[in-house]
Each structure stands twice: as C-alpha cells, then as structure tokens.
Amino acid sequence: MSKELAKTYDPKGLEDRLYQKWMDNGYFHAKVNPDKKPFTIVMPPPNVTGQLHMGHALDETMQDILIRFKRMQGYEALWQPGTDHAAIATEVKVIDKLKKEGIDKHDIGREEFLKHAWAWKEEYGGKIINQLKKLGASADWERERFTMDEGCSKAVQEVFIRLYEKGYIYKGSRIINWCPVCQTSISDAEVEHEDQDGFFWHINYPIAGEEGRFVEIATTRPETLLGDTAVAVNPEDERYKDLIGKMLKLPLTDREIPVIADEYVDKEFGTGCVKITPAHDPNDFEVGKRHNLEEINIMNDDATINSLGGKYAGMDRYEARKAMVADLDALGLLVKVVPHNHSVGTHDRCGTTVEPMIKPQWFVRMDKMAKAAMDALKPGELEFVPPSFGKTYLHWLENIRDWCISRQLWWGHRIPAYYCDECGEVVVAKEMPEKCPKCGCTHLHQDEDTLDTWFSSALWPFSTLGWPEKTPELEYFYPTDVLVTGYDIIFFWVIRMVFSALEQTGEVPFHHVLIHGLVRDSQGRKMSKSLGNGIDPLEVIDKYGADALRLTLITGNAPGNDMRFYWERVESSRNFANKIWNASRFIMMNLEGKTVTEPADLNDLCFEDKWILSKLNTVIRDVTDNMDKYELGIAVQKVYDFLWDELCDWYIEMAKVRLWKADEDLKAANDALWTLRTALTEGLKLLHPYMPFITEEIYCTLLPEQESVMISNWPVYQEEWVFPEAEKAVESFKEAVRGIRNTRTEMNVPMNRKTSLHIVGKDAETCARYEACKKSFVNLAFAKEILVQEGKEGIGEDAVSVVVSDAVVYMPLEDLVDREKEMERLKKEQDRLTKEIARCQGMLSNPNFVNKAPEAKVNAEKEKLQKYEEMMEKVNTQLKQMEK
C-alpha cells in the first residue's frame, strides 16, 4: 500500500478535492442505458434567490443518500437538479437593487427591467448550487435546468394552450388573494394563516321604514362595510324570518341593501346576521353569486379606499377602519367592541395581511384534475411515506378551489394570450397572431400578466426531461421513483405536480413521496430570521465537515417527524468519523507490506472471524431492507453500531492478539487481516451514502487499485456468511467480559491489574466454545490467563464470581486486590457508614425534626438512610469474604 491516510482526520483537506475528483470523472452523470434499470429523483428546485438553510440540507442529504445507494446497487441513477425562478421573491430583490441605484421599475419599462432580472439571476442564481456541492450532493449537474430556460418555458406554454383549448383555463372576475405590498395576486397555497388579536365590532344597520328598529351584525373588518350588498340570515332562524326581503339602510352610505336568506349563515355564531361583501370575501362572493348580488370593490391595489368610498376615499384600509368606527360611534350605531383572536391570512413572502378582492384573473378549473389526482393515491401508483400524509393530500384536494394562476409581475412566464385592440377578441397562441381572427384588425397586444411560479414547477418532473418532445430521457427516466420533500409543501407543489403530470403525460410523476419534518433549534423552535435562531449549514461544514453534518441530520430521523439540531450531536458525528479514521489507520498499518489472501474455506476461520462476518452479513441485509423502505435513520444507526461497537470496540481488539503474534502463526494472522479488511471495506460501502467523503478517502487508500467507493457494488447478503454457532460463542464471551468489567469497576480494581480467569461452562459444548476463542479475549478481560473447565475444582473459596447466561466466571480475590489494604479500606468505609447511619437514625427518631421539618427534607434523610444501609450490606459481605 503506497498511499497512507493522514495521521488526523481533517475534512477541510479532503472534501473539496474528492468532490472535484467525482465531478472530473463524471460519476454523477446518468445516461439512457437499456442494460440497466433506471432510478430517478427530481430535485425540488431551490429558488435562485436562495441561500442554503437546514431544511435544504436535510432534504438534499436524504436525496443524495438514496441516489448514492441506488447507484451502488447498479441502477442508472439520475438525480435531476435545477433552480426555480421564484417570481415574487426575485422581482422584489431586483426592484430593491434598482431602487438603490435610483431607478424605478416603471420608468425603465418591462423589457429593460427583464434585462436587469436576467443579469441578477446570472450573478446570484448559481450560489445555492455551489452550496449544495459543498454538502456533497451527487446530482447530475450536466443536466441542470432552470424553470425559465428555453425547454421549460416551451413546456409551460404548451400546457397553458392545451388546458385553455380543453376549457380548463379561463379568465374571469373572482375573489383572489391580493397582496397590497407586492401588488399581485397570490394563490391559496402562498397564504399563511396566523392567529392575531383583533376585535368583533358590533354594528346596528337600521331597518328601512321602521324607525328605531335595527339588525345587529358583527364584523372583524368594519372598513369593508362600504362594499356590503346584503345582510344574510339563516332561513331556519325564527328570530329573523320576518326580516327576509326587507331593506336595510347601510350605515355611512346613502345605499339600501336587502336582507336575504342563505344556509351559509351559522345561527349559533355571533348575532346570526352576516354582512355580505361579495367583492371582499370568498364566502360572500359565493353567496352573492347565488343571490345575484352586486359586487362592489371599494379598494385600490395598494389597499387604500377607492373613489366609491366617499369621504374615506384615499385612506389606508386601517386608517379608514379607525375613522369609520369613530363615525359609527358618533351616530350611535356602534353597539360594542369585543376582543377576538382570529386567523388572518398573510403573504408568505412579505408577511403583509392579504386582502381578498375581486379582480379579472386567469384560473385553472380544478374539479376533474383534482379527482384524477385523488384516484392516483394507491399502492403501486402513488404512495406517501409515511402513509398518514396521504390524508393531508386528499383533504387538500377535496377542498380545492379553482387555481388563480395569473400574477401582476414582469419576471416569469408571460401569459400567451393576445387581445385585439379593436374588438377585444382573446387569442391564446404560441406567438402573437398577425391579425385578429374575428375582425381582421392587425393591432393586438399581449396580456401583461405572468404565470404563478407553481405553474411551471408543477411540470418539473417531466419538463426537465424534455417534454413535450418525446426525448429518450423522458422515455427512460420517467415516471420518476421518489420525491423527497417537507410536509409543509404537500399542497403547494406535490399536488400540482400530480394533477399536471396525470393530465399531460397520463402517468403519475413519481411513485413515492418521502416526507420529512422540519429541522428545529435545540429548544424545538422553528428556525427563523425573526428569532435569529437559524444555523447556517455552511458554518457547520466549515467547522466539522459535510459528513458530520449529514450524519447528524439523518441520525434518529424518522419520515414525517421534526428533528432538533444540537451542536453536541455534530461533535458526536465528528467523533465517529475520527473513530473510523483511526481504526482504518490501524488496519492499514498492519496490512502494510503483507500479501493477504482470502481463506480457501471460510468454515476454517476461527469463531471471532466468523462472528464479525456473520454480524456484517446481518447488517447488510437489514440496512438494505431499511433503505428500500426509506427508513434512513434506522439504517444509519445500524451501520454506526456495527462500525463503532462491533468492528472497532470488539473485533479489532480480538484480532490484535493474532496480529501481535503474526510470526508464530501466519495463517491466523492472514485470516485476521483478511477479515479486518473485508469488514472495513463492506462497512465503508454501507456508510458511503451517508458520509461520502471520509468513506471515499479511506476506501481508495485501503484499496488503491479501486477507482472509487461511489461506483463500487453495494454489499449483498451471502448465505456462506451465516455462522450462528460463532455468534453464540462470541456473544457469550462478550457478556462475560462486560460482567468482569462491571465487577472490577465496583471493586475499584486498577486497569493494569491482570487476573486469572476460571470459566465454568454449563456443559461440554459451552466449554468448547469458550476454549475456542479464549485467546482473543485475554486482553479484553484484563486476564493473564483464561482457564475453561466444567466443574469448580481448583477454584478458591474466596474467588469473586460473575454469573452469565451459560457460565460462571471466577476471579481469585488475591489477583484483584491486596487483601490487607482492601480490608483496611473496607473497615474505614464501615466506620464511616456506621456514623452516617447513626446520624440519620437520630434525626428520624427525633419528633421535633420529623414533625416540623419540611416533608422533602424528611424524605431526603430517609433516602440517605436507605442508601447507607445498602452500602453497609455490601461492605459487610465483602469483609466476610476477605476474612474467609
């Protein structure tokens, strides 16, 4: 072995070098290969505005583990990467940048603004991709896509036109979520609902023609009163049956509005009378449609009151609220104000309270496509891991509304709709028509709006593979196998991909959806800028290495569950890396200059070698099974336990005896070295998907003839590695060693004090097992010699015994302790305990203490007495044994 591992493990020194090696050799690149089975993961495209955070780190690590695992299993494994144009987020960033330069977006116009946006994307768009590479992501970067590249844009246009021609896309005036700050419509999925402290304002609406009679309503948004077109009551509500059909004077206006009956009204909630504002509430909008009510929009796009608001025109919505409430109070129409905590919709990008408004927008009809997506949720077609998230998926689809897909932005896919300037005819086409098909006019203009970002990312699993063209990649790699994503994005993205894929390709976009939780801080709080508790993954990588971060994120991780991030756990992961590094160095030092050959017959191996091979075999089977079921946290724990506990702490120690005496028995040393190398090599392969860098460095140093662990074959279970008898023998000896160590600790026996061990087996077969591997356990058991026998002959009466499941181990007392010194120590301890017991008994027999002291103090003394009495019993037993 010409190459050596560095003395100390330093991730900084090797991670960038190894990643470049993988890139240079094209290991990440997948090709259409009819001789191999494909396995595909499509990367949830991070925003071009993005910065790597812990959520990304977890998501990408899980994908990388799966893709590396499948690549080693012999699949043609494609991990398709790319980035999302993130319409709102990017436009905000570019507008801010231009503002700092003294430029207003509207002054320079659309075309010039887009030049700035593309320049911004080119400068900052690749930042997060480079950060993913630091994490070790083995995505096929040669195939990197962008949601606004030529191919993806073509797919978006194709889908829009197809859905429009099918009648699934329409333009209409409906209630949408409007962000007054970003000045655009947003989808339901981009609205975050948060509980806020507010009020219920109870207001009297006078009944027309009935002086002194009122209808009392309660509202959380009194400013929308200006747009009321009715008050609704439940048709079954006896209190108000006589009012149905009557007219009310709408306060602060000169209008009258009707009282209508609608089952939408909950008799038990509030006053049982509900103001209906069709232009500013989605439920009221539906009521308005049923009753043919007028829709009066009383707000401008910036959430100020418009010209229909009379004296309140020009006021901000909250300023108008204050003024209107004061005026209602002055008129004697404000009944009361009641504090009320309620759910308020805010824009997930800027945090502004969303204003429901009626606006002409483009929508996708969801009824038929939603049903197809619901029908797809079944084993073999589409499954969630864990399955419980299927309920979330169905719940969202069952309650889905038509999807508002137009956005009042310039950055994004522009809607391919063209309007005739003469007759208003709408033409949806790939390019602007030369003339209007209706009136022949040659003056047309394109719709100003762009498409919701999710419209393009909904096509991601197939648009990235070349659709709508029938490319070889699409035929081979699609549908994809698994989508890995957080539970907070099921309705945003997963559902849209499913119904879009079913509609356009006739197939589900992926067969499994692996859901993970959030990475929270050590206190269990969500990481956020406002709390300042976010942890930068790059900082962790810089300090401890990518492997340590990856192991930390996956250890203990169960699908769907949140996890907490602790720096101590990262240190523990780094310590594990150090352990593997040092163990590997020890093995390589012993292999240096030796030709090691595989034993001709594995049955000739000693029990210890068979035991580690058998343990390795079980781990291979179990880990493969866990990974196939996406139980990544369980799988890595088994690999960790095998490498740390069984290989490093037990087997290496067992093998040392034969390595030290290599000159005396060449075959025994060869067997030990071959087994050590095999266990380490296969263990590294199992660990590789989780910790790719350290495993690559050790593997290629251990086996210089091998190109990379990344393209090695995944270990497989082998029947010839099943050795139950060897497992039984070694596990028995391990139990004995643990018992010996515990006893020595209790007796304060120094580490360097060796003893003779007498193992009395329960029968001849047991004795034969202990005899077969006793040499390997001499050091582990702190023994100078190990004698195995069936009876107690020759064992002194004063020997200390350790009972295990199939034997009793005896240690001569004089080997463990200096009798005179130990008796002297025990007598001193006896004197000390006698005094402590007398003190406790004295206090507890004193009525003043027992009756007057706090109960906790009395109980503490009782516990002390019990503890001292137990200690005294042990000391007395040990003294009697000594005196014998």
Half-sphere exposure of 292 (CA within 13 A, CB side): 0
Please give the structure tokens belonging to residue 708.
């990379």
Residue 529, annotated as binding a ligand = yes
- Record the tokens describing residue 713, joined without a space: 């074959």
Give me the sign of the Cα torsion angle 424, 430, 434, 437.
negative
Is the four-CA dihedral 537, 543, 546, 547 of positive or negative sign? negative
Which residues, 6+ apart, have CB-to-CB distance to 598 below 8 Å? 674
Tokens of 109: 């116009």
Phi/psi for 476 (5° steps) reads -90, -45
DSSP assigned state of 491: I
Q: How many Cβ atoms are within 10 Å of 767's Cβ, its own excluded?
A: 18
Rg (alpha carbons) of the chain, rounded to whole number: 38
3-state helix, strand, coil in the chain (%, to 5): 50, 20, 35
Q: Where are the beta strands (DSSP E) in 571-697?
A: none
Cβ 756 vs Cβ 726: under 8 Å:
no
How far apart CA 66 and CA 79 sit, in angstroms, is 10
| Beta carbons within 10 angstroms of residue 599's beta carbon | 14
Is residue 651 within 8 Å of 642, Cβ to Cβ?
no
Q: 741 vs 458, 751, 782, 882, CA distance in Å?
A: 61, 10, 8, 20
SS3 438: coil
- The letter for the amino acid at 326 is A
Buried-exposed string 272-306: b where 16+ CB fall within 10 A, e elsewhere: bbbbbbbbbbeebbebbeebebebbbbbbeebbbb
Query: ∠ at Cα 224 (219, 225), nearest 5°?
Result: 75
For residue 43, give the DSSP letter: P
Helix, strand or coil for residue 681?
helix
Could you tell me which residues are annotated as the binding site for ATP? 529
Could you tell me which residues are annotated as the binding site? 529
